[in-house]
Structure 1
Amino acid sequence: MRIAELTALLHLASPALPIGAFSYSQGLEAAIEAQLVTDADSARQWIARGLDDVLARGELPFLAHQLERWRNHDVDALHAENAAFIASRESMELRRETEQMGWSLRQLCVSLEWGDASRRVTLSALQPIAQPTAFAFAAFVHDASPDATLAAYAFSWVENQAAAALKAVPLGQFAGQRIVVALRDAIEGAVTRALATSPDDLNTFAPQLGILSARHESQYSRLFRS
């Protein structure tokens, strides 16, 4: 991997990236409220299932295909698949999450003038824009490879989930780091599966997540927006 590619992906995967990832738990807080997650082991299992059942089957392959569409500048497909991904979100909170983070990442890309002018026009025209679509644009303009792009995205997701568990379970710092380390191989497996998934085989079916996310909308006490 080139140094420029590595540093670009480290930037995009950083929790310091100003897109608001820290404010979302993607259903984890609702799982804690339902006592499905009560300690470090159950938190690790929950995050591992999300990586395997949600990201690897849906979000990561979608990201890979959007990356290729940005490479080809297939405007019609970018619009159609971006809209389909947003429509697939299981709850109002999860839809708002991807839209808000996608909007924030797009603002960053535009303000830093990443990419060529014609693709920035396409990026700005995507209203609303899903986070993976914006992430794919940012990865493309830095000439990042698909496997590295997906690995960075998946690691960022796992790290954010572990950070949410630290606050909401709560867990200690070492417990959170153990979760991240334990899922390194799972991230590699998720990326491998995602890269082998065709557009027609994307699957976002996650009924438990959808139910918990919908419950979170009216949960009495909340630290997170999803």
Structure 2
Amino acid sequence: MRIAELTALLHLASPALPVGAFSYSQGLESAIDSQWVVDERSTSAWIAGGLAHVLARCELPFLSHQIARWHAHDAQSIAALVTADAEFLASRESAELRRETEQMGWSLKQLCLSLEWGDTARRETLTALVPVAQPSAFAFAVAAHEIDPPAALAAYAFSWVENQVAAALKAVPLGQMAGQRVIVSLRDAIEAAVELALATPPAAINTFAPMLGVLSARHEQQYSRLFRS
């Protein structure tokens, strides 16, 4: 991998990227409130479940195909990109999760446009994509920097895992070493999720996480909250 490509990927996966990821737990806080997640073991199981059943089967393959569409950027690909983005937004399990991906997508979109990543034609397509899901905006940035798709998917998955662990450190709470053990234990799961995503055609993208939807909906009315989802 070229150094410029690697540094661009590290930038996109950085928790310092100003998209607001730190303010969301994606249902984890509600799982903690319901005592589904209470310690290091249950935290690891919760994150592994989200990685295997949500990211690997929906978010990561969606990201992979959006990257390809941004690269192609012909009339057919643009139409598919817009349709897929709308379908992804409709697939979110709760109002909170939909607002999350829209807010993070908008923030990343503003960053891409302000820094003038990509060419003019692709930036015009990104500008017109309203609302935009966060993975669609991430895919734009990946294509703009010509980052290898498998590496981009791995970085996206790792960033998601890292954010989940950061939320658990605050809300379970867990110690720093426990959080690091969870991250290390999920390295193989990230690789498996990326491999499955790369082999998933558009028609096979799916997500089935009913309890995530229930817990996320409960979170909207939760008495005390640290996170926005």
Q: TM-score range by the shorter chain?
A: over 0.9
- Deviation for aligned residue 1:144: 0.6
Cα shift readout 1:29-49 (whole Å, capped 9, x = no counterpart) = 000011000001100110001
Instruction: Name the structure 2 match of 1:53.
Output: 53
CA distance in 2, matches of 1:6, 1:36: 37
Instruction: Give the TM-score of the pair, scaled to structure 1.
Output: 0.99
Q: Are 1:147 and 2:150 matched, yes or no?
A: yes
Instruction: Name the structure 2 match of 1:222.
Output: 225
CA distance in 2, matches of 1:124, 1:181: 38
CA distance in 2, matches of 1:147, 1:178: 24
Instruction: Name the structure 2 match of 1:63.
Output: 63
CA distance in 1, matches of 2:4, 2:138: 17
Instruction: Name the structure 1 match of 2:27.
Output: 27
CA distance in 1, matches of 2:184, 2:7: 21
SS of residue paired to 1:18: coil
Instruction: Name the structure 1 match of 2:118.
Output: 115
Q: Which aligned segments of 4 or more residues in structure 1 are displaced greater than 2 angstroms? A: none
SS of residue paired to 2:174: coil
Instruction: Give the TM-score of the pair, scaled to structure 2.
Output: 0.98
CA distance in 2, matches of 1:162, 1:130: 23
- Deviation for aligned residue 1:78: 1.1
CA distance in 1, matches of 2:55, 2:91: 13
Structure 2: tracts of 5 or more residues without a match: none
AA at the equivalent of 1:20: G
Instruction: Name the structure 2 match of 1:72.
Output: 72
Number of aligned residue pairs: 226
Identity over aligned residues, as a percent? 73
Alignment partner of 1:196 out of 199, 210, 213: 199
- Deviation for aligned residue 1:84: 0.5
- Deviation for aligned residue 1:79: 0.8
